[in-house]
Structure 1
Amino acid sequence: MTLGVMSLLGFNLVDSVFVARLGTEPLAAQSFTFPLVFLTIGVQVGMGIAIAALISRAIGAGQEHRAGRLGVLVLTGGGAVMAVLLFLLWALQDPAFALLGASERIREVIRPFWNVQVFASWTGAMAYFGYSLFRAHGNTRFPGSMMVITSLVNLALDPLLIFGLGPVPALGLEGAAWASLAAFATGGVITAVYLRGRGWLERDGVLAEVRASAGPFAHIAGPAMVSQLMPPLAAMLATGLVARLGESAVAAWGLTSRLESFSIVLVLGMTMALPPWLGRCYGAGRWREVQRVMAAAARMVVIWQVVLGLLAALFAAPLAALLVESPAVREALTQLIRFLPPSYGLLGVCMLVVSASNALGWPWRAMLISFLRLFACYLPLLWLGAWLGGLTGLAIGAGCGNLLAGVMAWSFYKKGLRRHLDTLQAPL
Structure 2
Amino acid sequence: MPSPSLSKQLFQMTWPMMFGVLSLMSFQLVDSAFIGQLGILPLAAQGFTMPLQMVIIGLQVGLGIATTAVIARVLGAQQIKKAKQLAGLVLSLGAAMVFIMCLLIWFSRGLLLGLLGAEANVFPIIDSYWPVWLASCWAGAMIYFAYSVCRANGDTKLPGLMMMATSILNMILDPIFIFHFDLGLNGAAWATIVSFTIGFCIILPPIFKRHWISFSWHNLPIIASIKELNSVMTPAMMSQLLPPLSSMMATKIIAGFGAAAVAGWAMASRIEFFAIVVVLALTMSIPPMVGKMLGAKQFDDIQKLIHIAVKFVLAWQIGLAIILFAIATPLANLLSTDVNVVQVIESYLLWVPISLSSLGICMLMVSVCNALGVSMRALTISTLRLFACFLPMIWLGSTLFGLHGVFMGALVGNTMAGIIAWIMYNKAIHNLQKTITAKDR
Q: Which residue of 1 aligns with 2:3?
A: none
The question of whether the paired residues in 1 share the 8 Å contact of 2:44 and 2:122 is answered with no
Give me the TM-score of the superposition, normalised by structure 2: 0.81
Provide structure 2 residue ranges, at least 5 long, that are not aligned to the other structure: 1-16
The question of whether the paired residues in 1 share the 8 Å contact of 2:361 and 2:422 is answered with yes
Alignment of 1:26-425 (within 5 A): 34-90=50-106, 104=119, 111=126, 116-161=132-177, 164=179, 167-169=180-182, 171=184, 175-205=187-217, 208-241=220-253, 253-320=265-332, 322-323=334-335, 335-387=347-399, 392-425=404-437
Cα distance, 1:351–1:159 mapped onto 2, change above 3 Å: same
* Residues 324-383 of structure 1: CA deviation (Å, up to 9, x unaligned): 677776665555455443322111101111111111122221111111111111222233
Question: Which amino acid is the alignment partner of residue 278 of structure 2?
Answer: L
Q: Secondary structure at the match of 1:169?
A: coil
C-alpha separation between the residues in 1 aligned to 2:32 and 2:105?
A: 22
Question: Which amino acid is the alignment partner of residue 146 of structure 1?
Answer: M
C-alpha separation between the residues in 1 aligned to 2:266 and 2:42?
A: 11
* Residues 22-70 of structure 1: CA deviation (Å, up to 9, x unaligned): 7899878766755543332222111111122221122122211111111
C-alpha separation between the residues in 2 aligned to 1:302 and 1:393?
A: 24
Give me the TM-score of the superposition, normalised by structure 1: 0.83
Cα distance, 1:218–1:259 mapped onto 2, change above 3 Å: same
C-alpha separation between the residues in 2 aligned to 1:326 and 1:30?
A: 27
C-alpha separation between the residues in 2 aligned to 1:217 and 1:342?
A: 36
- More displaced 10-residue stretch of structure 1: 202-211 or 215-224: 202-211
Q: Across the two proteins, how many residue pairs are aligned to each other? A: 422
The question of whether the paired residues in 2 share the 8 Å contact of 1:20 and 1:324 is answered with no
Question: Which amino acid is the alignment partner of residue 43 of structure 1?
Answer: L
**What RMSD in Å do the two structures reach over aligned CA positions?**
3.6
- Does 2:31 align with 1:12? no
The question of whether the paired residues in 2 share the 8 Å contact of 1:267 and 1:351 is answered with yes
Cα distance, 1:109–1:2 mapped onto 2, change above 3 Å: farther
Provide structure 1 residue ranges, at least 5 long, that are not aligned to the other structure: none
C-alpha separation between the residues in 2 aligned to 1:158 and 1:320?
A: 29
Q: Looking at CA atoms only, which structure, 1 or 2, has the larger radius of gyration?
A: 2
Q: Secondary structure at the match of 1:216?
A: helix
C-alpha separation between the residues in 2 aligned to 1:386 and 1:107?
A: 36
